[in-house]
Amino acid sequence: MDISIVSLIATLIVAATPILLAATGELIVEKAGVLNLGVEGMMIVGAISGFIAAVNTSSPFMGFVMAAVAGAILSYLFAILTQVLLANQVASGLALTLFGLGLAALMGNSYSGVKPPSTPKMEWFGLADIPVVGPILFNHDLMVYFSIFLVFAVWVFLKFTRGGLILRAVGENHDAAHALGYKVVRIRVLAILFGGACAGLGGAYLSLIRVPQWTEGMTAGAGWIALAIVVFASWKPWRLVLGAYLFGGVTILQLNLQASGVDIPVSYLSMAPYLVTILVLVIMSADRTRASLNAPASLGKIFHASS
């Protein structure tokens, strides 16, 4: 078999970035104690909004900005439903996904077959020419580095800042946080907006860089994988990177193995990404007490100041 490991890693990073972006946002949302199952819907709305903005301004940067804004706007709907009107989070999230898919189809009506402006690769002053390391580390677009930076920022925020501590407090026990005088609803709404913006970015990465085109329903389940990866990462930021790259990596690897004609039955290769995910989940949840400690205690619970 003659698979180039270098190009394999380079492709897997591209495949994993949309999931990583969306999962990072969802991590913050869940850390604040909110379960937003609408990631898929926010991603696809981000994908088309970013696409429309990028095509009309010829600037991929504007595309990503608008994708984040659109994702946040859509998630605001979810915030109103769940934080103000106290609707069920699971049902609202599912509704958000369905709504997002329909809305995106409507918005994208006249954008099929349009070519988006191409996103330039980052300029690292010739570092990309270094053999092996160059193509792997220094030959990507800005968003790849941004997604890693975002994970770093989220990690710093949650672990070292007062804001992060408050966010976690709200997610662990909203009644106690409320008693301490923290604005539970406001903090959660902000977290939801952040999650929406990140999902929007992830969607735009799909429509502007990974596939460069708009097709209805093009996220094809990426949002659900992002949700799974948050659990997979047991709500720890750096494990998101591991999870997303592992999942993306095994998917890309099995396609490459097939293309290079390796003599392994295809059905095993196709189930590999899911098998690996299940395996890792089993290993990580082997220690029951620790696994359950990681999930925010108030996740998915409705908060009202009077109760």
CA distance 11 to 103: 30
In this complex, which beta carbon is closest to another protein, that of residue 85 or of residue 263?
Answer: 263
Q: Does 210 bind another protein (CB under 8 A)?
A: yes
Q: Quick one: which of 13, 144, 191, 218 contacts another protein (CB under 8 A)? A: 218
Q: Quick one: which of 126, 131, 181, 221 contacts another protein (CB under 8 A)? A: 221
Q: Does 88 bind another protein (CB under 8 A)?
A: no
In this complex, which beta carbon is closest to another protein, that of residue 160 or of residue 268?
Answer: 268
Question: Per CB under 8 A, which of residues 13..42 are in contact with another protein?
Answer: 15, 18
Q: Quick one: which of 24, 36, 147, 256 contacts another protein (CB under 8 A)? A: 256
Q: Does 275 bind another protein (CB under 8 A)?
A: no
Backbone angles phi, psi at 121, to 5 degrees: -80, 155
Length of the chain: 307
CB of 258 to another protein, least distance (A): 5
Q: Does 251 bind another protein (CB under 8 A)?
A: yes
What are the residues binding another protein (CB under 8 A)? 2-4, 7, 11, 15, 18, 98-99, 101-102, 105, 108-109, 112-114, 206, 210-213, 215-222, 251-252, 255-256, 258-261, 263, 265-267, 270
